[in-house]
Amino acid sequence: MIETLATSSPLGSEIFALIALLVISLVVLLILRHYLPIRTTPAYLLVPIFFALWLPASIVLLVPIDLASSARTEDAGSRGIWLYDRVLLVAWRITYWLTFALTWFILPILAEYADAGYRDPKGRLLFSLRANAQYQAIILGAGLVTMLYIFIKEGVSPESLKSVVMALAYCWGLVLAIYLMGHGLVAIPRNLFRNASISGKLRRIQTRAPKVHENMEEAIQKLEDLEAQVAQLSQRKTGTARDFKDWIEELAEETHLPESRPRTLTRRIRMSEPNATIPNVITERYLADLSRQLTRARHSRARYLDEWDRLLKDAVETQAVLDFSGGQRRLKSVEPLLILQYLIESLFSRLILAALSSLSEVKVWRGRALVRRNTHGEAAMWFAMQVAKLSVPLSFNFITFLPPDVYKKTMFYKFLGKLIVFTPLGDWFDWFFPIFILVPVCATLFNLYGKVKDCVGYGGVIEDEDDENENGYGTGSWREGRDLIERELNGHSSLGGLGEVSVDRRSVPNNPNNRAAPILTIPRAERHRALGTASTSRPSAAPTTASC
């Protein structure tokens, strides 16, 4: 057997691994192109984000190769894709330590650097270091406590010091992964069952519409208030404003002032002037805060406009399906569910899908969101950091589902696993803590977040669609949402021109096919046929009209 392994060469496996890495690189570039404006995003953001996504994807490739390499036999045909142990060890070292550096040092600093409002790099760097000081202090404190425990338990050695670093990073990543997976394991199948009812899906879309519309109006109003501050600053020619003349002119050039575009808010807000209050003494810190708030407000406006457009698109498509189905409450075909089952058959894919899908639903991320071609640089860095942070705990927990005599032979376990279980406490944590996945599962399943909100006045951690108010207007009811969607699609919305967004909203923005959305016409004499009720006859054959 030794002679066979010595004479055999993993050349085919190496070629496959290189091709797979090239494919992963291409996929990551396409993801970046989908969410970021590649041409205008600086390189200090693109490069770290690329590696923060590329390294976890390479770990997904490296885990099965490691398992196949550790289980290889004399039969060359049964080995699959395998590599030498030395190559695997070097690959794990490079992948892990680069991911560690990106997760805990590079990405947090660069994220705050991108969010800083200062003009010069020195001011941005100092702001980033101050913003991360508390975060790094907490990490350092936890590291000192853990290091003291391990040194007392196992003695002082380079191995024990490395165990402190790896165990802490693994524990924090596992806590986040357990929380996100617990929510995703309930939310994904629940959404599938809910969406099986077309009329129920449309009702939930209409229930969400008032909240999304209100958020969009608030984002637009906040941006206009900040732009009004810039307009007043640009009119100041004396005092401390002269010291920052170039900076103020630069802000004025970047803003889209109300004079250059129609008003965009409801009639109630149009009657009030933008709220603009500026201090008597203009300082560098004030301008930096104003610049940062302007950047966040622009991306917040783009986020809620995109969310509103997607909601309109979903409402139009769901209404079309409801009209075509002739009022059936539930789809008879289960083929989409079977296809999805085949797609996520792998247990590893289920773990990743459950964890990553929750990143877009959990609302404790300081308003961060992924917007097509317009994601804020700081938000993109943050989401990439979470993906990198989740990769190692999910990978290690995946291989531990296998028998111990299988996964303990892998280079991944020899490099990382033995340091995680270096002490009895680490071994106990690795085996016992995943049981706590039942906590977020039960919290999501039984809507404990809503109960916490009712008890202590704090909630809204997870989006919950169970509470549907069907009574009255002005309370986020589905009837109010239905009317908002109807007015928007019929071109009678109170929202005016928004630059690239059409006033009559006849075509759904951000549609990849650039397809015109159906126009929902509601005659006055047939007002009872509201959006959300299936038609009793077949829909009209006109491609641009869908019956309501």
Residues 45 and 177 both lie in one domain: yes
Per the domain annotation, does 469 fall within a domain? no
pLDDT tens per residue across span 144-190: 888 888 888 777 788 888 888 888 888 888 888 888 888 888 888 88
Average pLDDT of span 427-447 = 82
Residues 147 and 239 both lie in one domain: no
Per the domain annotation, does 494 fall within a domain? yes
Residues 28 and 159 both lie in one domain: yes
Q: How many domains does the chain have?
A: 2
Per the domain annotation, does 468 fall within a domain? no
Question: What pLDDT does residue 526 have?
Answer: 37
pLDDT tens per residue across span 244-270: 888 888 888 887 544 444 444 444 444
Residues 10 and 159 both lie in one domain: yes
Q: Are 386 and 176 in contact (CB under 8 A)?
A: yes
d(CA 352, CA 478): 34
Per the domain annotation, does 473 fall within a domain? no
Q: Are 107 and 132 in contact (CB under 8 A)?
A: no
pLDDT tens per residue across span 156-166: 788 888 888 88
Question: What pLDDT does residue 299 have?
Answer: 92
Checking if the pLDDT of 489 tops 80, the result is yes
Residues 218 and 166 both lie in one domain: no
Residues 204 and 324 both lie in one domain: yes
Residues 290 and 424 both lie in one domain: no
Residues 315 and 237 both lie in one domain: yes
The one-letter amino acid at 489: L
Residues 33 and 164 both lie in one domain: yes
pLDDT tens per residue across span 46-92: 999 999 999 999 998 999 899 888 876 555 555 678 888 899 999 99
Checking if the pLDDT of 397 tops 80, the result is yes
Residues 209 and 189 both lie in one domain: no
pLDDT tens per residue across span 522-547: 333 333 334 444 444 433 334 433 33
% pLDDT > 90, the chain: 28
Checking if the pLDDT of 495 tops 80, the result is no
Residues 225 and 245 both lie in one domain: yes
Domain containing 530 equals 199-330+479-548
Nearest to 98 by CA among 61, 57, 135, 141: 57
Question: What pLDDT does residue 491 have?
Answer: 76
H or E stretch covering 155? none
CA distances from 184 to 134, 164, 306, 359 (A): 30, 30, 24, 9
Residues 178 and 207 both lie in one domain: no
pLDDT tens per residue across span 87-127: 999 999 999 999 999 999 999 999 999 999 898 999 999 99
Question: What pLDDT does residue 537 have?
Answer: 40
Question: What pLDDT does residue 364 have?
Answer: 52
Per the domain annotation, does 114 fall within a domain? yes
Token digits of residue 253: 């050039």
Question: What pLDDT does residue 520 have?
Answer: 41
Checking if the pLDDT of 42 tops 60, the result is yes
Per the domain annotation, does 470 fall within a domain? no
Checking if the pLDDT of 465 tops 50, the result is no
